[in-house]
């Protein structure tokens, strides 16, 4: 019996031939299944570069918000990113010109604002302080509503159940807002890792695309740097963490307060298009009313 188990014995040769046979069968079976699956795939035809352009504008708000991909508004804490997103939503829902000057390309029926930090009453209070008219069409999902589904990426992996949950919440909206970017991901050094951050932005775009909506992402800038007592502002890739998050967005604006500058008692803010796949507008100069916090375009 012991001799039959030795390498080179007839039993050993029989077992080896049998295993090789099984591996060959398994390989052929796998290729057959893959070929059958590929035969059932619907192959897209794509589009031709010289086809007529879509009739609808690629920008929901000219120079500000793209109708496709993801548009980012990046600023330091307390600069008013959420505030501007509320003004954008109100403009799209009512057709009123943004900041009294920029008319939206179309009116939409619903917006959804996913707020992943603090609580929804804070955003509600901000909206009501501005005095913008009630629309009944701007829906907020705060952390208390998102619960265990809040994270879209955890430890580098997509949470498919959470993504499906967000798609259901977003159904029927023409604009989806994610506020702020870093609150939807978790994991060691996740915010500084390009791969999961790009995956996060891709998941947000997928959620918006599932209902035919535009995607607006609010994010924080990195900590300010100083040289000889003066703050140095980065002109690109100023988003906190991995640079891949900006690369994954189709357009990025930087929001900054102009320190020490007031006009008629109103502080001055700049919204600067940094990356923009389209006709990049000049910097938008915004005056903020200290009482209502509403902006007007200077």
How far, in Å, CA of 197 to CA of 207, rounded?
15
Dump pLDDT digits (tens) for 286-298.
Answer: 999 999 999 999 9
Cα 226–chain centre separation: 30
- pLDDT confidence band for 44 (50 / 70 / 90): confident
Q: Which of 15-38 are b and which e, b meaning 16 or more Cβ less than 10 Å from the residue's Cβ?
A: eeeeeeeeeeeeeeeeeeeeeeee
What is the reported pLDDT for 227? 47
Mean residue pLDDT across the chain = 90
The owner of tokens 């954008």 is 88
Contact 83, 293 (CB under 8 A): yes
What is the reported pLDDT for 270? 97
How far, in Å, CA of 114 to CA of 120, rounded?
9
Dump pLDDT digits (tens) for 93-119.
Answer: 999 999 999 999 999 999 999 999 989
Dump pLDDT digits (tens) for 68-99.
Answer: 999 999 999 889 999 999 999 999 999 999 99
How far, in Å, CA of 64 to CA of 276, rounded?
9
- 3-class SS at 102? strand
Token pair for 290? 């200290």
- pLDDT confidence band for 6 (50 / 70 / 90): confident
What is the reported pLDDT for 228? 44
Strand order in the sheet with 214-220: 138-141, 111-115, 175-179, 214-220, 71-75, 251-263, 266-276, 284-288, 295-297
Contact 177, 123 (CB under 8 A): no
3-state secondary structure 224-261: CEEECCEEECCCCCCECCCCHHHHHCCEEEEEEEEEEE
What is the reported pLDDT for 223? 62
Token pair for 152? 């879209």
Cα 218–chain centre separation: 8
Dump pLDDT digits (tens) for 198-241.
Answer: 999 999 999 999 999 999 999 998 665 554 455 556 556 656 66
């Amino acid at each position: 019996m012991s001799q039959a188990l030795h390498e080179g014995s007839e039993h050993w040769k029989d077992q080896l031939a049998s295993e090789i046979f099984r591996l060959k069968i398994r390989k052929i079976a796998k290729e057959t299944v893959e070929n059958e699956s590929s035969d059932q795939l619907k192959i897209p035809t794509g589009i031709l570069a010289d086809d007529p352009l879509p009739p609808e504008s690629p920008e929901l708000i000219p120079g500000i918000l793209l109708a496709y991909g993801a548009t980012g508004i990046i600023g330091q804490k307390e600069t008013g990113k959420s505030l501007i997103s509320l003004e954008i939503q109100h403009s799209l829902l009512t057709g009123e010109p943004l900041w009294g000057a920029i008319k939206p390309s179309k009116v939409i029926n619903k917006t959804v604002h996913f707020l992943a930090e603090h609580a929804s009453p804070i955003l509600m209070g901000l909206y009501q302080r501005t005095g913008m008219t009630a629309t009944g069409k701007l829906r907020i999902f705060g952390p208390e509503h998102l619960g265990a589904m809040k994270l879209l990426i955890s430890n580098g992996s997509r949470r498919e159940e959470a993504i499906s949950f967000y798609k259901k919440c977003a159904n029927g909206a023409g604009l989806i807002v994610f506020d702020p970017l870093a609150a939807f991901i978790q994991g060691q050094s996740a915010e500084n890792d390009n791969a999961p951050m790009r995956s996060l932005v891709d998941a947000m775009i997928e959620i918006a695309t599932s209902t035919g909506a535009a995607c607006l992402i609010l994010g924080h800038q990195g900590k300010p740097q100083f040289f000889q007592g003066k703050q140095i502002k980065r002109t690109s890739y100023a988003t906190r963490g991995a640079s891949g998050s900006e690369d994954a967005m189709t357009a990025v604006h930087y929001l900054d307060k102009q320190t020490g500058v007031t006009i008629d008692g109103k502080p001055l803010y700049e919204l600067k298009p940094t990356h923009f796949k389209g006709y990049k507008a000049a910097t938008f100069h915004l005056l903020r009313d200290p009482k209502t916090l509403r902006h007007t375009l200077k």
